[in-house]
Amino acid sequence: MQDASSPAKNVNLEFVAFCVGDQEFCIDIMGVREIRGWTQATPLPHAPPYVRGVINLRGAVLPIVDLAMRFGLGLTEPTPRSVIIVVQVDQQVIGLLVDAVSDILTVSEVAMQPTPDIASELAKTFVRGVYPVDGRMISIVALESVLPISEKAAA
């Protein structure tokens, strides 16, 4: 790793870091539209368990994906302190239910490490790579695989 103060030749990327359970994840800040508090969602029939329903975002209907459930970490019990990160993926706008937003990270592209090779298929599907930050491990979420769209096409 290079000294942080040296002018980095590499492109610096900014990420929004957040907690899901006791793990930390991050997503590219350019994909984040807004961050808002939890509001009660209207459940959708025949939806997979990680789709918590839809909420009203200033007149638009926004589906909410429970990231913990999506990653196989169990259902999130939403509290008033839970956070919805509104992200845009391609043309779709969805909300991600997470426990808390923790940080904004500025990291260089070269600092990214490939996902450690562990057995969990879920980790391989949803984690694009990991960043070491102050001794913590922050996983980069592959947003396109979080969407329910792929399963819908199959169904």
Partner 1 sequence: MSLPLTLAVLDGMAVSVAGQTLVVPLTAIVETLKPKKTELHGLGKDGRVMSIRNTFVPLIDVGTQLGFRDTPADPENSVAILVETGGGTRNALLVDSIQDQRQVVIKSLETNYGTVAGIAAATILGDGRVALILDVDALLTSSFDTLRSEELCYGTGG
Question: Considering the complex, what minimum distance in angstroms separates the CB of residue 87 from partner 1?
Answer: 11
Q: Which two tokens stand for residue 49?
A: 């368990």
Q: Which of 43, 74, 116, 132 binds partner 1 (CB under 8 A)?
A: 43
Annotate 69-103 with b (16+ C-beta within 10 A) or e (fewer).
bbbeeeebebeeebbbbbbeeeeebbbbbbbeebe
Other C-beta atoms within 10 Å of 39: how many?
14
Instruction: Return the number of the residue (57 or 133) whose C-beta is nearest partner 1.
Output: 57
Stretch that binds partner 1, among 30-38, 57-65, 73-81, 131-139 (CB under 8 A): 57-65
Q: Which residues contact 132 (CB under 8 A, 6 or more apart)?
A: 111, 113, 138
Structure letter (DSSP) for residue 30: G
The residue from 40, 49, 80, 154 that contacts partner 1 (CB under 8 A) is: 40
CB of 134 to partner 1, least distance (A): 35
97 near partner 1, rule: CB under 8 A:
no
Site residues for partner 1, window 126-155 (CB under 8 A)? 148-149, 152
What's the chain's length in residues? Answer: 155
Residues forming contacts to partner 1 in the complex (CB under 8 A) are 40-47, 51, 53-56, 59-63, 91-94, 148-149, 152
